[in-house]
Amino acid sequence: MYTDLEVIPLKVRLRHSGLVLTALAAFAASPVLAQTGKTGERVMIPTLQSADKELGVQAAEAIRSQLQKQTNVRDLVVVPKADINNSLVSSGYPTTEALAPSDAKALATLVRAPQYLEGVVTKTPTGYKIDSRLIISRDMSRGQVLPSAQGSKLDDAAGQVAKSIKDARRQLPAEETCHNAVAQGNYQAGVTAARSGLAGNPNANILAACLVDAYAGLKMDDSVIAAAERIHASDPRNTVALRRLAEMYRTKNDTTKELAALSSLAAADPTNIKLIQDVVNEYGAMHRAEQAVPLVRDLVQNNPGDPQLLNLAWVVYLAAKDYPGAIDIGNEMVRVDTAAV
């Protein structure tokens, strides 16, 4: 989500079988699981992004502490710091680094947390600021932007984030009902569930995204656009809404708005290779290769030596008639794979 600060991918992927076993062993010994009685869903708070690694660790722990104080274990279980760190250490990854988005999703799935937080903490002249988003583990594109939290003390800001997490989670029962209905092709039931939940929480964008899906299933294009635009207004980086808007405006042959949606989509998550490739392909289909050149240039620079991305860039440069650029990419293709001559 946040690209101004560097995140370092895991040295060993979290799905590695040895790590899975280690993590499960850690859970078996966890004091949370040792409690009797029914417990609520889990939420994971990993290290936040920060220019100060120690601050990122401290902020995450402060949010965990505040969330535990504000909730009952029967309603919500905050994944303990020890469980998170045991999994990371087992993978050879330092516990003081913020996770890349895909790794955060993998870790949340591993520790059985249906939701997790991603965010940035900064030191301000008057205290601390935390910008964050609550993410659904089954689909990392489904998230709720939380209000920016500021306080003279880190615990003050963390307490605000904890309250926002509680508020954001109120939409989840309706979202689950909507999601299940849409997955089963019962789109009208999805619309009904989503509308019911949104009636008391109109800014619930995780739920609103499901409403967009349900409308799309019913071929209600104007309703899709209206709902997606409402999401986009409150969360300009919501990729679910932007993908739907690009799709709908393409259907309506509204090139201007489709291009605007694609541009916003690329800017929403510039480190997401699959997303950028999708946008580049859309530009190609629209014969707008020149607008794809900056995207593939950044992809190649950020992922040096990737043969697939080099090939994509080469095609884009040629289509844009940027022959010097195509020659440079071609030379790099040959350097990576001599068979490309």
pLDDT tens digits for range 263-275: 999 999 888 888 8
Does the pLDDT value for residue 146 go beyond 50? yes
Q: What is the pLDDT of residues 183-220, one digit of tens each?
A: 999 999 999 999 999 998 999 999 999 999 999 999 99
What is the residue-averaged pLDDT of the chain?
87
**45 residue type, one letter:** I
CA distance 118 to 40: 21
CB 140 within 8 A of CB 126: no
Least Cα distance to 149 among 183, 185, 120 occurs for: 120
Arithmetic mean of pLDDT, 277-299: 89
Does the pLDDT value for residue 13 go beyond 50? no
Predicted local distance difference test score (pLDDT) of residue 23: 43
Predicted local distance difference test score (pLDDT) of residue 206: 98
- Per-residue pLDDT band for 53 (boundaries 50, 70, 90) equals confident
**Bigger pLDDT: 161 vs 94:** 161
CA distance 197 to 144: 15
Q: Tokens 């030596």 identify what position? A: 305
CB 76 within 8 A of CB 169: yes
Q: What is the pLDDT of residues 298-322, one digit of tens each?
A: 888 888 888 888 888 888 888 888 8
What are the angstrom distances between the C-alpha of 130 and each of 125, 151, 281, 319? 14, 9, 35, 43
Predicted local distance difference test score (pLDDT) of residue 12: 43
pTM of the complete model:
0.81
Does the pLDDT value for residue 5 go beyond 60? no
Predicted local distance difference test score (pLDDT) of residue 2: 38
Predicted local distance difference test score (pLDDT) of residue 340: 65
Arithmetic mean of pLDDT, 51-66: 96
Predicted local distance difference test score (pLDDT) of residue 284: 87
Does the pLDDT value for residue 280 go beyond 80? yes
- Per-residue pLDDT band for 341 (boundaries 50, 70, 90) equals low
CA distance 252 to 213: 18
Does the pLDDT value for residue 31 go beyond 80? no
- Per-residue pLDDT band for 234 (boundaries 50, 70, 90) equals very high
